[in-house]
Structure 1
Amino acid sequence: MAKKKLTLVTLILMIFTSVFGFTNIPRAYYLMGYASIPWYILAALTFFLPFAFMLAEFGAAFKNSKGGIYSWMAESISPKFAFVGTFMWYASFIIWMVNVGSGIWIPLSNFIFGVDKTQSWSLFGLNGVQTLGVLAILWILLITIVSSKGLDKVKKVTSVGGTAIALLNVLLIVGGLIILALNGGEMLQPVSAKAFISSPNESYQSMISIFSFLVFAIFAFGGIEAVGGLVDQTENAEVTFPKAVTISAIVIAVGYAIGIFIVGSFTNWTFAYTQFSEAETTLGNVAYITMNNMGYQLGLALNLSDATAMTIGNWFSRYMGLSMFLALSGAFFTLIFSPLKQIIEGTPSEIWPAKWSQTKNDMPTYAMWIQALIVSVIIAFVSFGGDSAAKFFQILTAMTNVSMTIPNMFLAIAFIGFKNNQTINKPFEMYKSTGKAKAAAYMVIFVVGFANVFTIINPAMNGNLSETIWSIVGPVFFSVVALILFGNYEKKQQLK
């Protein structure tokens, strides 16, 4: 029986779930107000769209390749170059799993209780942090079990996650427009030309702070390369994959811009009820506060009592919690196997122990369980290790922040080699001329390079020199490990 392949809609939902972060909308509004919109559009035009089009060309050319980004770079530049970039990229997803495995319970708590109560949760007499650690490990094991059953199981979850986050955006836009109509077309945050240039946030007035926001905007578009390994499982890949990437890129970019603007229909940045100026508002919870405020403002616009408006606000916050839980679950189900599948199946099998290449249901199941063990050990150490473990995790996060985006530069460099290599069949070409392709590649390299340099020096400028040092050590460390692994493989080849 022929195996069901990914359709255009399913692939778009998987890309949307992996890339689009709804929380980036309220966070951007919290940091910069309407002034965040031009920076998001700039990040989309100078990084996301040109980079997405590169991936679409790669994907169409290597539609039968299981290795994803490794195969693309190996064919375009060299296997060693490709392995270093892919290994660095994969290492960052391990830390993502540790982070999200523990953090996914916050939206679940918001759904159940209307607020984040995770710090007070206790299992078997453990404290909040330890309890979240145990839940995170159980979560990793559950995701690994389900994902190892095959792509059909993953598609069901990612479709639910993608649909939930899409409905959250519909709620934001439709709810904002209803509030706007009920308020006689008056935005709660006044619209002016200056509002799109100058942030109401006093912390975002200098060029240095504004540049730091550009970095934030660029990172908001990260993750699309994770679905590169799904080309071989896509129906009519040379047409479907580039079309899915292109549609997703445009929808995500436009979605961010519209979403940020709509927040201004029900959130006045300077009003006390927004809580933006209060200490308890953080980048972690501002999305829930924003949606709660939306429900509250809808109640007021409908001339309901203050108590009823607050109840509506709490239910909006609950829906936000459910949607985020489903969306993060969907992303988890894709990212727990897609990066690993690319690095195991795409790279020479002799690099890894023989068992790691074994597949079941077209999934590298043995390697997935090794991955689950590594992630679980890190979670256990961080959760039960006390202050020293927390410090260790901060170092680990700093090491991977830059490592997560440097592979984008590797891919952009490889794209130049890809366009220059006339032996590679290119069934789909977004960039018709080599000159346009090089210009797009150099722009992506510059933008990502600038973002990384700023990410590295910014902590030192704020007095945190150690984070700057570890941000440099991370890519160097992962590069050295990758070169050692590849060097051992080359020695084995010579001995044959």
Structure 2
Amino acid sequence: MESKEKKLGLGALILMIFTSVYGFNNIPRSFYLMGYAAIPWFILAGITFFVPYAFMVAEYGSAFKNETGGIYSWMEKSVGPKYAFVATFMWYTSYVLWMVNICSGIWVPVSNALFGSDTSATWKLFGMDFLSGPRLLGVFGIIFMIFITFIGSKGLNSIQKVTNVGGIAVIVINIVVLVGGIVMVIMNHGHFAQPFEGMHSLSTSLNADYVGNPVMILSFIVYALFAYGGLEAVGGLVDKTENPKKTFPKGVLIAAIVVVVGYSVLILLVGSFTNYKEVMGTDGVHLGNVSYVIMGNFGRMFGETIGVSSATAIAMGHNFARIYGLIMLLSLLGAFFTLSYSPLKQIIDGTPEELWPGKMGITRESDGMPVNAMKVQCVIVCVMIFGVSFGGNAMAKFFVILTDMVNVGMTIPYIFIAAAFPAFKKLTDLDRPFVMFKSSGSTKFFTFLVSAMLIFANVFAIIQPAMGGDIMTTVWTFAGPVIFSVAALLMYHRYEVKMRSRVK
């Protein structure tokens, strides 16, 4: 009996790609780092990375639609199992570091949701100085990780409900800022809180650290590339699309334009209500809380624009920060539930069970959840959180290094995927329902373009701290992918020895 599964039309496809890729948090962070000068880099990354890489992923996904191992299966079939395992293991470990990061950082939106501002640095448990600040957040983070693992291992459908609510709420906040920003520009007769001076604003960063520092500026490309993360999900949409040969390329191109324009317009509108020096230049503003600071400022400035009293405008600012804190909390919860098992499940489903120590490679028969591996993952994350939270200043510095390792670690596997694409195109025994790159020349050109863009961005992201005197961060950011690669190679060598001994 034929499947009655409803296919995605052009509009639904664009929405699916948009929600998989677009992240509102990238907008205030980019404005904080570069101001209006972030816009050209988003456009460049969209043209040289987003569009060609999306089509590569679509070809992989359509040809290997019946494979359960995701990106591992793509590379394993195209190049070989060792190559695939090293790349996928690096991709997975970046999510482990991401979880360590979020377990400590999630209390910023909690604080904003409760109090309208970030007070997490001043929290104490029962008035004890020992359990305050980073240590208390570490304890909360460990409890949170255990809770997520417990609930996630149950495979509950309620996880999807949290994700859906968070996703809808983030779309709403984008619309609110878009409409509110335009209203403020109109009511202020085109006046921007941060003056926009055409090409000068687009080419000169508002952040003093970036002015006259080309390495810092070029390292920003990594942030622009992160803004287009999540493209792996696109690979599974080809066979779910109506008339994919015509609809899919059109959907990807329109979605790319929508995402690029969305980022560019909203970065511009942030400047319409945010004076960089007055808001970004104050003490206590950093990458972790800048989104909430900007949203609080949005509420206050909107109140002043429509003519409410000063006290009411300030209250509106606190309430907007609360609402945004709640929205980001829901969004992060949904993402955390999904990422606590999805990357792990993907790599375990694609690899032989014997490759993993003990019972880590065994999944639950009823729903395929990698419960044993999730427990081991929970222990590793909790140990790292404990070390970062209770390790003093040295470990606090290590936490900064961890964040940089996440940034680099999440994009390096994309290089492996892109580099494997020519080998994938040479395979002759595949049913290819969707083909975008029809010639050897176009395959080689776009493989080179995407790979070069990723390598270029990561090189500058790695060397940038050293150029500013922070050699340790550069060393460890470079060492991270090397350590993960060596760990993956050792695991694979152990597997090969085990398999050879069985043959004998």
- Superposition TM-score, scaled by structure 2 size: 0.88
2:28 corresponds to: 26
Amino acid at match of 1:322: L
Are residues 320 and 253 of structure 1, via their aligned partners in 2, closer, same or farther at CA, if it must alter by over 3 Å?
Answer: same
By how many angstroms is 1:67 displaced?
0.4
2:337 corresponds to: 333
1:418 corresponds to: 424
1:97 corresponds to: 99
Q: 1:267 aligns with which of 262, 265, 274?
A: 274
Does residue 226 of structure 2 align to residue 224 of structure 1?
no
1:319-468 matched pairs, under 5 angstroms: 319-352=323-356, 353-359=358-364, 360-468=366-474
1:10·1:159 contact (CA, 8 Å) conserved in 2? no
By how many angstroms is 1:177 displaced?
1.4
1:59·1:242 contact (CA, 8 Å) conserved in 2? no
1:13-162 matched pairs, under 5 angstroms: 19-123=21-125, 125=128, 126-150=131-155, 152-162=157-167
Name the CA distance, whole Å, in 1 between partners of 2:148 and 2:17: 19
Please, which moves more after superposition, 215-224 or 133-142?
Answer: 215-224
Deviations, residues 324-372 of structure 1 (Å, cap 9, x unaligned): 1111112212211111011111112220134532224232222112211
Are residues 339 and 45 of structure 1, via their aligned partners in 2, closer, same or farther at CA, if it must alter by over 3 Å?
Answer: same
Are residues 388 and 326 of structure 1, via their aligned partners in 2, closer, same or farther at CA, if it must alter by over 3 Å?
Answer: same
2:24·2:174 contact (CA, 8 Å) conserved in 1? yes
Name the CA distance, whole Å, in 2 between partners of 1:39 and 1:154: 35
1:208 corresponds to: 215
Name the CA distance, whole Å, in 2 between partners of 1:242 and 1:385: 50
By how many angstroms is 1:183 displaced?
2.0
Name the CA distance, whole Å, in 2 between partners of 1:165 and 1:394: 27
Name the CA distance, whole Å, in 2 between partners of 1:31 and 1:458: 14
Please, which moves more after superposition, 139-148 or 459-468?
Answer: 139-148
Name the CA distance, whole Å, in 2 between partners of 1:472 and 1:319: 38
By how many angstroms is 1:66 displaced?
0.9
1:167 corresponds to: 172
5+ long unaligned stretches in structure 1: none
Q: For 2:261, what is the secondary structure of its paired residue?
A: helix
Amino acid at match of 1:198: T
1:89·1:404 contact (CA, 8 Å) conserved in 2? yes
Are residues 198 and 396 of structure 1, via their aligned partners in 2, closer, same or farther at CA, if it must alter by over 3 Å?
Answer: closer
Name the CA distance, whole Å, in 1 between partners of 2:286 and 2:489: 40
2:51·2:252 contact (CA, 8 Å) conserved in 1? no
1:60·1:238 contact (CA, 8 Å) conserved in 2? no
Does residue 256 of structure 2 align to residue 252 of structure 1?
no
Deviations, residues 254-292 of structure 1 (Å, cap 9, x unaligned): 32112111212222435x3xx222333222222222212
Name the CA distance, whole Å, in 2 between partners of 1:281 and 1:217: 21
Aligned length: 490
Name the CA distance, whole Å, in 1 between partners of 2:112 and 2:5: 36
Are residues 140 and 399 of structure 1, via their aligned partners in 2, closer, same or farther at CA, if it must alter by over 3 Å?
Answer: same
Are residues 6 and 413 of structure 1, via their aligned partners in 2, closer, same or farther at CA, if it must alter by over 3 Å?
Answer: farther
Are residues 12 and 143 of structure 1, via their aligned partners in 2, closer, same or farther at CA, if it must alter by over 3 Å?
Answer: farther
Q: For 1:356, what is the secondary structure of its paired residue?
A: coil
Name the CA distance, whole Å, in 1 between partners of 2:238 and 2:340: 17
Amino acid at match of 1:437: T
Q: For 2:276, what is the secondary structure of its paired residue?
A: coil
Please, which moves more after superposition, 31-40 or 58-67?
Answer: 31-40
Are residues 24 and 436 of structure 1, via their aligned partners in 2, closer, same or farther at CA, if it must alter by over 3 Å?
Answer: same
1:194 corresponds to: 200
Deviations, residues 202-251 of structure 1 (Å, cap 9, x unaligned): 433322232122232223323433x47x9499957995998987766544
By how many angstroms is 1:146 displaced?
2.8
2:298·2:317 contact (CA, 8 Å) conserved in 1? yes
Are residues 278 and 398 of structure 1, via their aligned partners in 2, closer, same or farther at CA, if it must alter by over 3 Å?
Answer: closer
Q: 2:486 aligns with which of 480, 487, 490?
A: 480
1:179 corresponds to: 184
Name the CA distance, whole Å, in 2 between partners of 1:118 and 1:4: 50
Amino acid at match of 2:64: F
Deviations, residues 178-213 of structure 1 (Å, cap 9, x unaligned): 212222344334442332233344433322232122
By how many angstroms is 1:444 displaced?
1.2
1:144·1:368 contact (CA, 8 Å) conserved in 2? yes
By how many angstroms is 1:382 displaced?
2.1
Q: For 1:99, what is the secondary structure of its paired residue?
A: helix
By how many angstroms is 1:127 displaced?
1.6
Amino acid at match of 1:297: M
2:7·2:242 contact (CA, 8 Å) conserved in 1? no
Name the CA distance, whole Å, in 2 between partners of 1:198 and 1:367: 47
Are residues 32 and 403 of structure 1, via their aligned partners in 2, closer, same or farther at CA, if it must alter by over 3 Å?
Answer: closer
Are residues 331 and 245 of structure 1, via their aligned partners in 2, closer, same or farther at CA, if it must alter by over 3 Å?
Answer: farther
Are residues 232 and 265 of structure 1, via their aligned partners in 2, closer, same or farther at CA, if it must alter by over 3 Å?
Answer: closer
Name the CA distance, whole Å, in 1 between partners of 2:153 and 2:443: 38
Amino acid at match of 1:81: Y
1:65·1:232 contact (CA, 8 Å) conserved in 2? no
1:286 corresponds to: 290
Name the CA distance, whole Å, in 1 between partners of 2:321 and 2:119: 14
5+ long unaligned stretches in structure 2: none
Name the CA distance, whole Å, in 2 between partners of 1:185 and 1:361: 56
Please, which moves more after superposition, 471-480 or 426-435?
Answer: 426-435
Please, which moves more after superposition, 258-267 or 357-366?
Answer: 357-366
Please, which moves more after superposition, 122-131 or 136-145?
Answer: 122-131
2:219·2:458 contact (CA, 8 Å) conserved in 1? no
Amino acid at match of 2:379: L
Deviations, residues 138-190 of structure 1 (Å, cap 9, x unaligned): 22222223322337333222211211111111111011112122223443344
